[in-house]
């Protein structure tokens, strides 16, 4: 739940950065053909200021409420049925993608985009991991670090292999009944539950079919998405003692297959729309979905989110 919260905070900063520095939005959002030093400096300076401000805010608002400790690692790989690790992959990928796209906007070459932009997610979340390492409440996690690196690698490898993003991590959420059992951890309000309740989160790998069959008549924007979710969790490792409402047997993994839309493949000449499409391409579009859980039970949904 930490990773998605940090990602949404960083996403807001990126959005403000992209639209807040010019009266002429249309020309401002148009990517440069060659390196524009003022734009590059604006990107670097803004990321440093906004990223540092975010980290200082987290340290003040979040970590100061919990006791400190010596730096230490923990093994939390078995917790939350690995939903938190998938969240780290998602967050690292998209923060890095935004970093690379901002450098592309400045006219920086592909090498700079990958070296200094695509690694932004890994760098940002690694600093957060250090904060965790000094917190008695948590601890630095090698599993989180590996997940962060995996998200960055997913972006970079596709750029090196295909020069485009054919497989995009996405996120969707539905409200679950489990948050009411432990609102302090899973969220006491609707907005908190989106960030904290793993039972309602689903993470997807959205695959653009046209990119793998360019000679076909498949619409360029049509994707097939494979999703992963889990439910029955009110603690990380084990259920609370509550055999009436939440027995241990309800902890279960869920797998999904659905359609999706790659917003970046929708053709438009509007740089404003392209920017908005890039930002909202993090979210899985509601669509007909097939679910099967680890016990073999299947469900169909007309629209799943």
pLDDT for 243 equals: 47
Let me know: does 163 contact 114? Beta carbons within 8 Å.
no
Q: What's the mean pLDDT in 137-147? A: 93
pLDDT for 239 equals: 56
Q: What is the pLDDT of residues 254-271, one digit of tens each?
A: 999 999 999 999 999 888
- The pLDDT of residue 245 is above 90: no
Q: What's the mean pLDDT in 247-257? A: 82
pTM for this predicted structure = 0.89
Q: What's the mean pLDDT in 186-197? A: 90
Q: C-alpha distances in angstroms, 206 versus 38, 39, 127, 176? A: 35, 31, 28, 23
Q: Which of 18-32, 247-261, 264-278, 279-293 has the highest mean pLDDT?
A: 279-293
pLDDT for 296 equals: 93
Let me know: does 206 contact 225? Beta carbons within 8 Å.
yes
Least reliable range by pLDDT among 11-20, 54-63, 167-176: 11-20
23 or 267, higher pLDDT: 267
Q: What is the mean pLDDT of the chain?
A: 87
């Amino acid at each position: 739940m930490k990773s998605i919260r940090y990602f949404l905070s960083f996403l807001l900063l990126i959005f403000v950065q992209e639209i807040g520095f010019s009266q002429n939005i249309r020309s401002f959002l148009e990517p440069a053909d060659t390196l524009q030093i003022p734009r590059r400096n604006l990107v670097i300076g803004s990321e440093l200021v906004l990223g540092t401000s975010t980290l200082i805010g987290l340290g003040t608002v979040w970590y100061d409420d919990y006791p400190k400790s010596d730096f230490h690692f923990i093994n939390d790989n078995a917790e939350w049925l690995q939903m938190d690790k998938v969240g780290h992959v998602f967050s690292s990928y998209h923060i890095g993608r935004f970093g690379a796209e901002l450098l592309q906007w400045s006219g920086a070459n592909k090498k700079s985009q990958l070296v200094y932009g695509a690694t932004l997610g890994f760098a940002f979340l690694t600093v957060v991991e250090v904060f965790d390492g000094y917190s008695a409440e948590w601890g630095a996690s090698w599993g989180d670090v590996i997940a962060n690196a995996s998200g960055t690698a997913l972006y970079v490898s596709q750029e090196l292999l295909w020069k485009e993003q054919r497989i995009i991590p996405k996120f969707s959420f539905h409200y679950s009944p489990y948050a009411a059992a432990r609102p302090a951890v899973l969220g006491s309000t609707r907005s908190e539950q989106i960030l904290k309740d793993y039972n309602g989160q689903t993470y997807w790998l959205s695959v653009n079919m046209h990119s793998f069959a360019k000679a076909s008549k498949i619409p360029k924007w049509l994707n097939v998405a494979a999703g992963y979710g889990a439910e029955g969790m009110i603690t990380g490792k084990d259920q609370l003692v509550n055999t009436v409402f939440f027995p241990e047997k309800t902890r279960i993994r869920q797998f999904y297959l659905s359609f999706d839309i790659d917003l970046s493949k929708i053709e438009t000449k509007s740089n404003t729309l392209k920017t908005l499409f890039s930002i909202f391409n993090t979210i899985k579009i509601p669509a007909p979905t097939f679910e099967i859980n680890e016990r073999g039970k299947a469900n169909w949904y007309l629209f799943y989110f």
